[in-house]
Amino acid sequence: MGVDVEKLRFQSMIIVSFATATAVSFIGVIGFIGLIAPHIMRRIIGSDLRFLIPTATLLGSVILLLSDTLARTIISPIVLPVGVVTSF
């Protein structure tokens, strides 16, 4: 129908990447965990929402819990910000 699919796909990927980067820069890295955890679990569990929503919630919680624990114990007397460890 006259639409270059490859060009449209590339432009869409660029726009979505900039939108995600903007959201992460305003919200922070911890909010990015809320964006990425469902996508990780969808690859593992599948797209059945009965299992996807609870497991994505658990994965996001575990990632932040491990990041916070690591931030508190990596340099014992000094507590690093959780965002630093999460972004790494």
pLDDT tens-digit readout, 51-87: 999 999 999 999 999 989 998 998 878 888 888 888 7
Q: Is residue 3 part of a domain?
A: no
CA distance 24 to 21: 5
In a domain, 10, yes or no: no
58 within domain boundaries: yes
Residue 14 placed within a domain? no
pLDDT at 5: 93
Number of structural domains (the chain) is 1
Is 7 part of a structural domain of the chain?
A: no
Q: What pLDDT does residue 2 have?
A: 85
Q: Is residue 54 part of a domain?
A: yes
Q: Which amino acid is at 57?
A: T
Is residue 60 in some structural domain? yes
Instruction: Give residue 33's domain range.
Output: 28-87
Kindly indicate the confidence band of residue 26, based on its pLDDT and cuts at 50, 70 and 90.
Answer: confident
- DSSP letter assigned to residue 75: S
